[in-house]
């Protein structure tokens, strides 16, 4: 296994444990203080009440001795209380406040004059009770009782409380330990989920870039080189669309394993997007080492993958950028690797592109074109050119293909091969395509009204247009507004357009056919050329790519014969594009091709030129 994400500590669990313990101790301390205070007050109250009852009993029993001045009898009464718990001293004062009789333990004598109310020696509670006989005050009883019993009871209580608290803390500690373990496990799981792609188990985008930043910092500190490879699968969407998401996931897993097998032990592989992977190769001794890693990667992905639905070729486009030679910072490294990847993809896929500074210039031109393309429609810089299509057998003009042109104020005519991909990537193609469709339908109907023969109109479509929910409505609108009969409109789709979203393409094609619109496959033979789709897609026509036609008549016959046989077998007609010389035309006619199109018979030209040349219509104003 290559590098795995750094194990991160479980901070919540440990803080949770400490804070739980602190909270438990605080709660326990508060509870203990309240309980002790309450207990103390309660015991003191009980002690005072007990003393007051004793004093009241004495007061009732000494009325006679006090009235008759019988001190001996009074002392006898007092002595009877000697066993009262806690008693220190008890005395009778006559109504003048002189000590009349007393019983006291040796260390606790009462003063000769009655003490002021509330005056009490330490550790002693004093209560007084008035001795009365029929509302006449005869004297006062003063009773002093020791608080020692309360103290002893309090000590026992505190001991009990300490034991209970200790047990409670023990229970909290055990519980908190369990909670901590559970939280730590949940934390580890969350951390794993936040940093790992769940399909491939590789570090995810966030984690990969975080690791790249760390590695880059280390490379910088040690003066080492680092290579970033961005890997984009070429045909992932095809698997997902044709074999389902489970097959797509399986492919991603196998690709992840293949990548891990291709890189070195020190390299990091992460999944940074749907079908995009990043490889951080660090350290690399030189450019050759980085290229060797990249080469291993492209080779590993060129091999077929075994999926349940069959063998599959994923192939990948790879962009490579080297630190510090090609980029000085992380953002530059990522964006330059991305630029290289873009070039690998647009250079025909299944290849490696090394970043070179010239790519930046190309990317900048692209970005500028994209900005300007947004205004091209409103500034009337877009135009349509028309190329004639002829019947092979009789040579009659049968239709036209509308081809978009951009008259750029600075760069002159920009080729659709350059700006259509930009329009596709930026989504502008939806607006451009709609303009082309409406404009072309109107041009053809203008020729009709001027008396030209009824031509079919071929219009090129992009994948993005097909995915646009309202696209079929736009086709209907273009037909209705121009009055072009649906069977004279032919939409050209490329094989890659169809394979990008098979289900969506089929739905669109069925809707278009239901309108009566014809469908043809452009550049046939350069893409997947799958027999399966010829059977399942509701198409009318194939356009043989010009690269095959140009080989005629010496080479390429086998391929074109095969395409013709295949198309005719499925009941489809065939158009040969790019016919440039007579020998090619003769060969195609003899082979039974239905239609031809090419520079030999007519180049794409502005509508007024087309009308004048092929329709013998005078140029309109």
Residues that bind ligand C2E (CB under 6 A): 387, 403-404, 415-417, 420, 433, 436, 460-462, 492, 522-523, 546, 577-580, 598-599, 604
Work out what residue 584 binds among ligand C2E, Mg ion, none; the CB cut-off runs from 5 to 8 Å by kind: none
The Cα-based distances of 415 to 346, 382, 385, 412, 421 in angstroms read 15, 11, 12, 10, 11
The nearer residue to Mg ion, 478 or 521, going by C-beta atoms, is 521
Bridge partner list, 403? 385
- Compute φ and ψ for 15, nearest 5 degrees: -65, -40
Q: What is d(CA 133, CA 53) in angstroms, rounded to the nearest whole number?
A: 18
What is the enclosing helix (H) or strand (E) of 329? none
In the stretch 11-50, what mask flags binding to Mg ion with x, by CB under 5 A?
Answer: ----------------------------------------
Q: Which position among 520, 522, 556, 611 is part of the footprint of Mg ion (CB under 5 A)?
A: 522
Per the CB < 8 A criterion, the answer to whether 334 and 228 are in contact is: yes
The nearer residue to Mg ion, 272 or 400, going by C-beta atoms, is 400
Q: What is d(CA 608, CA 618) in angstroms, rounded to the nearest whole number?
A: 8
Q: What is the DSSP letter of 203?
A: B
The nearer residue to ligand C2E, 419 or 447, going by C-beta atoms, is 419
The nearer residue to Mg ion, 203 or 399, going by C-beta atoms, is 399
Total residues contacting Mg ion by CB under 5 A comes to 4
Residues whose CB is less than 8 angstroms from the CB of residue 26 and which lie 6 or more positions away in sequence, other chains included: none
Per the CB < 8 A criterion, the answer to whether 261 and 300 are in contact is: yes
Q: What is d(CA 446, CA 541) in angstroms, rounded to the nearest whole number?
A: 26
Q: How far apart are CB 443 and Mg ion at their closest, in Å?
A: 17
The Cα-based distances of 269 to 1, 237, 544, 574 in angstroms read 10, 21, 41, 47
Q: Is 523 in the site for Mg ion (CB under 5 A)?
A: yes
- Compute φ and ψ for 128, nearest 5 degrees: -125, 150
Q: Are strands 518-524 and 541-544 parallel, antiparallel or unpaired?
A: parallel
Work out what residue 462 binds among Mg ion, ligand C2E, none; the CB cut-off runs from 5 to 8 Å by kind: ligand C2E
Q: Is 492 in the site for Mg ion (CB under 5 A)?
A: yes
Work out what residue 259 binds among ligand C2E, Mg ion, none; the CB cut-off runs from 5 to 8 Å by kind: none
Work out what residue 403 binds among Mg ion, ligand C2E, none; the CB cut-off runs from 5 to 8 Å by kind: ligand C2E
Site for Mg ion in 445-474 (CB under 5 A): 460
The nearer residue to ligand C2E, 202 or 579, going by C-beta atoms, is 579
Q: What is d(CA 36, CA 42) in angstroms, rounded to the nearest whole number?
A: 10
Q: How far apart are CB 549 and Mg ion at their closest, in Å?
A: 10
Work out what residue 281 binds among ligand C2E, Mg ion, none; the CB cut-off runs from 5 to 8 Å by kind: none
Per the CB < 8 A criterion, the answer to whether 538 and 509 are in contact is: yes
Cα Rg of the chain, angstroms: 50
Work out what residue 504 binds among Mg ion, ligand C2E, none; the CB cut-off runs from 5 to 8 Å by kind: none
Q: How far apart are CB 549 and ligand C2E at their closest, in Å?
A: 8
Alpha helices in 304-411 (DSSP H): 330-346, 357-376
Work out what residue 479 binds among Mg ion, ligand C2E, none; the CB cut-off runs from 5 to 8 Å by kind: none
The nearer residue to ligand C2E, 305 or 386, going by C-beta atoms, is 386
Interface segment toward Mg ion; rule CB under 5 A; list 337-345, 486-494, 597-605, 611-619: 486-494
Site residues for Mg ion per CB under 5 A: 460, 492, 522-523
């Amino acid at each position: 296994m290559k590098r795995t994400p750094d194990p991160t500590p479980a901070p919540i669990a440990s803080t949770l444990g400490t804070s739980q313990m602190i909270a438990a101790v605080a709660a326990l301390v508060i509870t203990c203080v309240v309980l002790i205070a309450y207990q103390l007050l309660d015991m003191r109250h009980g002690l005072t009440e007990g003393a007051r009852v004793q004093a009241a009993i004495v007061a009732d029993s000494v009325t006679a001795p006090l009235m008759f001045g019988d001190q001996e009898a009074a002392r006898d009464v007092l002595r009877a209380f000697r066993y009262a718990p806690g008693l220190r001293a008890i005395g009778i004062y006559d109504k003048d406040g002189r000590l009349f009789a007393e019983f006291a333990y040796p260390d606790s004598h009462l003063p000769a004059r009655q003490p002021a109310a509330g005056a009490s020696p330490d550790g002693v509670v004093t209560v007084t009770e008035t001795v009365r006989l029929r509302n006449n005050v005869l004297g006062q009883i003063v009773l002093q009782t020791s608080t020692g019993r309360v103290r002893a009871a309090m000590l026992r209580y505190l001991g009990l409380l300490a034991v209970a608290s200790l047990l409670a803390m023990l229970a909290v500690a055990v519980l908190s330990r369990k909670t901590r373990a559970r939280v730590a496990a949940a934390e580890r799981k969350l951390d794993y989920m936040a940093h790992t792609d769940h399909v491939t188990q590789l570090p995810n985008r966030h984690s990969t870039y975080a690791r790249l930043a760390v590695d880059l910092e280390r490379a910088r500190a040690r003066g080492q080189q680092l290579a970033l490879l961005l890997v984009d699968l070429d045909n992932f969407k095809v698997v997902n669309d044709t074999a389902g998401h489970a097959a797509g996931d399986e492919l991603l897993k196998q690709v992840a394993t293949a990548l891990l097998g291709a890189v070195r032990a020190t390299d990091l592989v992460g999944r940074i997007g749907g079908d995009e992977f990043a490889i951080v190769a660090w350290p690399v001794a030189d450019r050759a080492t980085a290229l060797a890693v990249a080469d291993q990667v492209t080779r590993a992905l060129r091999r077929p993958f075994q999926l349940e639905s069959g063998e599959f070729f994923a192939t990948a486009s790879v962009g490579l950028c080297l630190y510090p030679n090609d980029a000085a910072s992380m953002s530059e490294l990522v964006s330059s690797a991305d630029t290289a990847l873009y070039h690998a993809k647009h250079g025909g896929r299944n290849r490696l592109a090394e970043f070179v500074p010239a790519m930046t210039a190309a990317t900048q031109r692209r970005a500028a074109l994209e900005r300007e393309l947004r205004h091209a429609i409103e500034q009337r810089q877009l135009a349509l050119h028309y190329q004639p299509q002829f019947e092979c057998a009789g040579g009659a003009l049968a239709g036209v293909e509308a081809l978009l042109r951009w008259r750029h104020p600075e760069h002159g005519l920009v080729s659709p091969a350059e700006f259509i991909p930009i329009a596709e990537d930026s989504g502008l193609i939806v607006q451009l395509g709609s303009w082309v469709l409406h404009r072309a339908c109107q041009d053809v109907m203008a020729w009709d009204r001027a008396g030209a023969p009824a031509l079919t109109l071929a219009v090129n479509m992009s994948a993005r247009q097909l995915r646009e929910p309202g696209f079929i409505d736009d086709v209907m609108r273009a037909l209705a507004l121009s009055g072009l009969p649906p069977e004279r409109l032919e939409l050209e789709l490329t094989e890659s357009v169809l394979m990008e979203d098979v289900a969506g393409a089929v739905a669109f094609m069925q809707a278009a056919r239901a309108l009566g619109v014809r469908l043809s496959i452009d550049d046939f033979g350069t893409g997947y050329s799958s027999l399966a789709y010829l059977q399942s897609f509701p198409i009318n026509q194939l356009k043989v790519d010009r690269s095959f036609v140009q080989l005629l008549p010496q080479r390429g016959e086998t391929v074109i014969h095969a395409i013709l046989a295949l198309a005719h077998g499925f009941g489809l007609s065939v158009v040969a594009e790019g016919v440039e010389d007579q020998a090619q035309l003769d060969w195609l006619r003899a082979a039974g091709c239905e239609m031809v199109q090419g520079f030999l018979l007519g180049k794409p030209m502005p509508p007024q030129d087309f009308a004048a040349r092929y329709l013998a219509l005078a140029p309109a104003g």
